[in-house]
């Protein structure tokens, strides 16, 4: 009897693959993924090739640095490739843990839950999923089951995710169009307690889900609203779900944004994004003891809500490393002080530039809003842009910030004249200076009434009209 030798296999070499085919990145995306993304990036001049990243910066092949004021939509709270998180992931891989057996209890999920709950004094238990959307979906299910009611209220202009359940509590029609029918949930205006009370009187409301600071437009819940909403909800047997997926883990200068207001004790809190350290997706739904005990009411229901990759060792290690860095490097305090400095520097420009109408937000979550100018020359140009599509002026500001000043930002939602700044929480005065100086130059150009910025505006107008 002879033993067959195993067939020789070529060793996988990621570095060689990227060296050989990395230059095809935009063509590959156009051919195999979302074909509109490379088209859009090319149109606005965002089709850059970034070679590496560290902290709050990217670098291109020529060695030019780019300041990141977007943080991967808030994922990169500690910036990119933080050494403590990198080491934790290397360590957990080297440990070769018996991960995801599904019929044991590994230590890392319990340790991460313990750490998160230490920052959440009114909550008792944690469910780990894989994203912010999953965290919201978990909260929706738990609230419905715990109350025995079908309907969840949400706020106009809210964003809670894009799966069917979370889309049902998404306040932006552009995301919802074409995906109906959704769950029978109902929008109320942010801050409107009377509207909330009217819906609660119908007796079928399980919960209100709310962002303490809305990502779309950067609108903060009015002072006292969250506390009053919770009292009103509880009086009608309903729950308060606070979505901290973007605002949590220090973004607004406190560990959670709802902690800026005394007396707010949510029943369920959703976190994700920055908990990942920018490496391994992780989401968490924190809640009251009684809610979890009602959902998991017997051994027969032990898997009634679960996630195949939930609580995996890499995600848990990343989360533990992130929380450790936040404590040792005083990340929350830095977000508060640096955010105050950035907001103050930008607010000082409102009276200087007639196109700049407002600067708002908390910590390192800041919205810059543009509005109709007073002077006739600028007003006619503004009117032209608005007639084509609302939001084009904000895009006109975002583009030169990247093209001329190598600063990455975003327009804060469709049809909004608002730029949102959500940089890594590690930035300091140097990054504030760089952004404010660049923004000032862009505003000077816009108010001069000519130049490349308004020429690009014409390109955007043509594109908007062509897409109608």
Q: Are the C-beta atoms of 49 and 61 separated by less than 8 Å? A: yes
Tens digits of residue pLDDT in 154-213: 999 888 877 777 777 877 777 788 777 777 788 999 999 999 999 999 999 999 999 999
Question: What's the CA gap between 239 and 152, in Å, rounded?
Answer: 9
pLDDT at position 163: 74
Residue 118 has pLDDT above 70, yes or no: yes
Tokens linked to 139: 């909260």
pLDDT at position 223: 95
pLDDT at position 460: 67
Residue 372: Cβ-neighbour burial (10 angstroms; 0-12, 13-18, 19+):
middle
pLDDT at position 2: 54
Q: Are the C-beta atoms of 295 and 304 separated by less than 8 Å? A: yes
128 forms beta bridges with 284
The enclosing H or E element of 94 equals helix 83-94
Integer angstrom CA distances of residue 79 from 51, 225, 427: 16, 32, 9
Q: How confident is the model at residue 40 (pLDDT cuts 50, 70, 90)?
A: confident
pLDDT at position 454: 62
Chain centroid to CA 384: how far? 32
pLDDT at position 462: 61
Tens digits of residue pLDDT in 359-407: 999 999 999 999 999 988 888 888 888 888 888 899 989 999 999 999 9
Dihedral (Cα; 188, 197, 266, 263), 10-degree rounding: 120
Find all residues with CB under 8 Å of 194, minimum gap 6, and list them. none
Question: What's the CA gap between 156 and 192, in Å, rounded?
Answer: 11
Tens digits of residue pLDDT in 324-356: 999 999 999 999 999 999 999 999 999 999 999
Question: What's the CA gap between 279 and 89, in Å, rounded?
Answer: 9
What global pTM score does this model have? 0.92
Tokens linked to 189: 């205006």
Tens digits of residue pLDDT in 267-278: 999 999 999 999
Q: Which 3 state secondary structure label does DSSP give 240?
A: strand
Residue 109 has pLDDT above 60, yes or no: yes
Question: What's the CA gap between 210 and 220, in Å, rounded?
Answer: 11
Which range is least confidently modeled, 31-35, 247-251, 317-321, 373-377?
373-377
Question: What's the CA gap between 204 and 188, in Å, rounded?
Answer: 15
Per DSSP, 55 falls in state B
**Residue that has been written with the tokens 């609203």 in this structure:** 225
């Amino acid at each position: 009897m002879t033993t067959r030798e195993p067939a020789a296999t070529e060793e996988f070499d990621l570095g060689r693959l990227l060296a050989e085919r990395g230059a095809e990145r935009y063509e590959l995306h156009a051919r195999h993924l979302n074909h509109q993304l490379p088209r859009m990036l090319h149109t606005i001049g965002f089709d850059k090739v970034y070679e590496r990243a560290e902290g709050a910066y990217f670098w291109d092949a020529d060695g030019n640095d780019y300041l990141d004021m977007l943080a991967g939509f808030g994922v990169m709270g500690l910036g990119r490739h933080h050494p403590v998180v990198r080491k934790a992931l290397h360590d957990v891989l080297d440990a070769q843990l018996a991960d995801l057996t599904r019929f044991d209890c590994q230590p890392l999920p319990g340790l991460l839950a313990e750490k998160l709950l230490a920052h959440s004094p009114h909550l008792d238990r944690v469910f780990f999923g894989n994203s912010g959307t999953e965290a919201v979906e978990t909260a929706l299910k738990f609230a419905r089951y715990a109350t025995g009611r079908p309907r969840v209220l949400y706020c106009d202009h809210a964003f809670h995710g894009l799966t069917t359940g979370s889309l049902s509590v998404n306040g932006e029609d552009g995301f919802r169009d074409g995906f109906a029918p959704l769950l029978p949930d109902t929008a109320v205006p942010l801050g409107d307690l009377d509207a909330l009370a009217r819906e609660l009187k119908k007796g079928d409301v399980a919960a209100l889900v709310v962002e303490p600071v809305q990502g779309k437009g950067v609108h903060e819940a009015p002072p006292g609203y969250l506390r009053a909403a919770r009292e009103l909800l509880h009086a009608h047997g309903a729950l308060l779900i606070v979505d901290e997926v973007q605002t949590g883990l220090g973004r607004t200068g406190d560990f959670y944004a709802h902690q800026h207001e005394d007396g707010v004790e949510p029943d369920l809190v959703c976190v994700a994004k920055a908990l990942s350290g920018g490496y391994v997706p992780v989401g968490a739904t924190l809640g009251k003891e009684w809610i979890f005990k009602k959902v998991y009411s017997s051994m027969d229901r032990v898997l009634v809500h679960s996630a195949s990759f939930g609580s995996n060792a890499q995600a848990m290690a990343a989360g533990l490393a992130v929380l450790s860095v936040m404590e040792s490097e005083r990340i929350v305090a830095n977000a508060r002080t640096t955010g105050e400095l950035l907001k103050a520097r930008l607010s000082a420009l409102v009276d200087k530039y007639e196109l700049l109408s407002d600067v708002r937000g908390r910590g390192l979550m800041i919205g810059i809003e543009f509005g109709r100018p007073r002077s006739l020359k600028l007003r006619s140009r503004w009117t032209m842009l608005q007639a084509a599509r609302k939001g084009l002026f904000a895009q006109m500001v975002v583009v030169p910030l990247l093209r001329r000043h190598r600063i990455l930002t975003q327009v804060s939602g469709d049809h909004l004249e608002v730029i949102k700044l959500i940089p890594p929480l590690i930035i300091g005065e140097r990054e504030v200076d760089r952004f404010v100086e660049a923004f000032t130059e862009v505003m000077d150009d816009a108010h001069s009434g000519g130049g490349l910025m308004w020429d690009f505006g014409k390109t955007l107008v043509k594109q908007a009209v062509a897409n109608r």
